[in-house]
Structure 1
Amino acid sequence: MSALVARGVTRGFDHPDGRIEVLRGVDLAVAAAEVVTVSGRSGSGKSALFAVLCGFDKPDAGTVEVCGAPLPAVPPWSDCGVLPQALGLAQELTLAENVALPLRLSGRRAEVADRVGELLAELGIAALADRYPQEVSYGQQQRAALARAVSARPAVLLADEPTAHLDHDSVAVVLGLLRRTAGEGTAVLVATHHDAVHRIADRELALAEGRIAAV
């Protein structure tokens, strides 16, 4: 069974020149333990699609299911881990506290110390654990946001351009974490323009004119 399924998803936005239809009946499915990438030119609707798939936005029509159930308005991190382009780290929390947040919200406090330490070390930012987001670089914030997204071992991971602000070595580390996360059973969907990300994927999709097609 696919962990993430979208059927007939449409989404449009009003504009002074008329309504713009960004998503036009998108169908996709991502299985557990699978890495799937989505490419498309800037403005093609990748971020709009991801916003619908993770519950940040509602489609005009169509459905989204996670593990066979309709996506709730606010899905728990254990169902859907999200790395948005805007990152959304809580500025009043340290990097370690941000990464721990999904575990604390799900009542899994006993896992916090080991899991947070493991992820920060793997992503090369363990020395920054007690710093606040505004005290580190954007690339370091991005790695912390990825750690937060996977900390609760979600059924689905949605990562929007996870390598956009990283150097070569950091990209390799992130790719390793994405593959390991899939290996633990998570369905991983990544929006990317980066060839290295496509190379670790099981399948590649492209979004064009509001529709998804295999590459």
Structure 2
Amino acid sequence: MNAYFISGLGADKRIFSKIKLDQSIKVIHINWIPPLKNESLSSYAKRLSEIIDVDKPYVLVGVSFGGMIAVEISKILKPLLTIAISSTILSYELPVLYRFAGTLRLIKLIPSGLIKLSNRFSQNFFFGTKSIEEKTLLSKIITDTDPKFLKWAIGSILGWRNTITPDRLYHIHGTNDKILYSKTAKPDFLIQNGTHFMVYQNAKEISELIDKLVSRYF
């Protein structure tokens, strides 16, 4: 069984470094590819999906922005199941401020470098990082993020329009997520006090959930 992992906005596979799954599951990390000019989230997801071997049983696991990408891919390829962590499934469940900013296309007015800088200032509060280890990892991930990709990704989230919940999709969310909070969303599993960084902080609990869900279908 292949499990394709898609990281969050600007992040990479380091965010999944503490996830430990059953030995029958082969973890494959999907790396970001450069977006095309004015490319939508759904179009980008379609191109990114070309790496997936559809001739073998597989599942998708996406965190944050990667969860939205996983939603779009699952609408095209129909995996055994899709797991979205610390993410949003339906675009109307995005926080009101995000949708408002998307309507006004405010992201186009902000320089790429400034977006990355502002993210650095507020990263620990919004992501919920606590220990020195967590803060160091997050800082390294943000430092290594391409500011142009970051700007495109934020813009694609703000302009995302999805009203379809794919079959066999499961949503895992934290009760203390300050980035993709939503009063209307109804996650299948809630991690108490889980932050937007919980795939790293609560890796054992989330690993067990993934194993449990995979065992239902494989």
Asked if these proteins are the same fold (TM beyond 0.5), I'd say no
Q: Structure 1 length as normaliser, TM-score?
A: 0.29
Q: Which has the higher helix share?
A: 2
Greater percentage in strand: 1
Tell which has more relative contact order, 1 or 2 (C-alpha 8 A, sep 6+): 1
